Structure 1
Amino acid sequence: MTEEDASAETLASKIDRLFQIVRRPGDQRERYSNEEVAKACREVTGESFSATYLWQLRTGRRDNPTKRHLEALAHFFQVPPAYFFNDEQGAAITQELELLGALRDAGVRNVALRAVNLSPASLETISDVIDAIARREADRKNPPQPD
C-alpha cells in the first residue's frame, strides 16, 4: 500500500486493519472479537460502546465516532491516536502494522533474520530477486489476455 493509498483510507478500513493485524499476546493466530474490544473500550471511556457499534464502525455503516471512542480503540490496539486523525502518521503506522503482520509468518521472519548481517549491496540484490519473483507470480495469477 502506498502512502497516498493509506491517506485516502476510510475510518472503517483503518479500524478493520487493526483487527486483521493486531493479535492476542501469546497466540498470534487468534484475532480479537468485536465484543472483547468493545468491552475494553467501555472500560477505558466509561461510555457506551457495544460490539454492534464497533461492527458498524468496522464496516462503514457508522462513520462518526467520538474522539474518546477512537482514543479508546487506539489505546486497546496500542497505536497512537494519530493513526485515526493524521493521514501522514496514519500511513506510516499502517506500513509498520503491515510489516509486523508479515513478520508473524515464520518464513518471512526467517528470511528477515538471515538478511540482518548482509551488506547494503547484497540486500539490494535480494530485493531485486524478490521483486522479480513477485512480478512472475502476479503474471501467473493474471495472465495476459489475447487481443
Structure 2
Amino acid sequence: MATANEPNATPPTLQDKINVLVELPLPPEFTSDSLRSPDSVGERVRAIATAAGISESLLNALRLGQRDNPTKATMQKLADLYKVDPAYFTDGALGTEIYRQLRLLQTLAEIKKGHTPQLKVAFRNHFELSDKGATTALQMLEQLRDLEAQHQRPT
C-alpha cells in the first residue's frame, strides 16, 4: 500500500485498520500484568477481544479480511477500547487520517528508544518534512527529553 501522504495513495482497508490496532500496545487500563505485552498475534487478538467485549473469532475474521462488515456496535466497542473515533473503521478522509496517525504511533512504539534512522524516516514521512527538518525535529525532542529528565531528578 502507498503511504497515506501520497495524493494517489490507496485508502486503507478495514483489514489494514484492524491489523494496525492489533499491532498497537493495548491501553494499560485493559491489561493485566500477565497481558501487558502479549507476544503472539493470537495472544494479542485474545486480549483485544476480551477487553472490547467481542468474540475472538470475529476479530480474527476482520483481521484476516474474511469479514468486512462489522456491526456498528462492534466498531464502537473497538473505538472505545482504543479511544478513536468510530469513523476510523469507515471509508473516508477521517478514517484515513486516523489510520495515518495510528501508523505513526505504531512506528514510534516499535522504535521507542534512541535516535534511529527509522524514527527520522517516520517523522519525515508523517509530517512531510525534509531530511534536515526531520533531523532538527528529533534534536529538539531529544533536548526536551533531557530537560524533563533534569526536572524529574530528586534534588
TM range (shorter): 0.5 to 0.7
Q: TM-score, normalised by structure 2?
A: 0.57
Structure 1 residue runs without a partner (length 5+): 43-48, 113-122, 130-147
Whole-angstrom CA distance in 2 between matches of 1:60 and 1:74: 19
User: Is contact 1:38–1:51 with CA below 8 Å preserved after alignment?
Assistant: yes
Once the two structures are TM-superposed, the CA of residue 107 in structure 1 deviates from its matched residue by 2.6
Of 6, 19, 23, the residue aligned with 2:22 is: 19
**2:103 corresponds to 1:101:** no
Q: Aligned ranges for residues 1-147 of structure 1 at < 5 Å?
A: 1-3=3-5, 4-5=8-9, 8-25=11-28, 30-31=37-38, 33-42=44-53, 49-104=54-109, 105=111, 106-108=113-115, 124=130, 126-127=132-133
For residues 62 and 51 of structure 2, what CA distance do their matches in structure 1 show?
16
TM-score for both structures, normalised by structure 1: 0.60
Unaligned 5+ segments in structure 2 are: 121-128, 136-155
Tell me by how many angstroms 1:41 deviates.
Answer: 2.2
The root-mean-square deviation of aligned C-alpha atoms, in Å, is 3.4
Change (3 A) 1:34 1:9: same
Runs (4+) of structure 1 exceeding 4 A deviation are: none
Q: Which amino acid aligns with 2:48?
A: V
- Residue 69 of structure 2: SS of its match in structure 1? coil
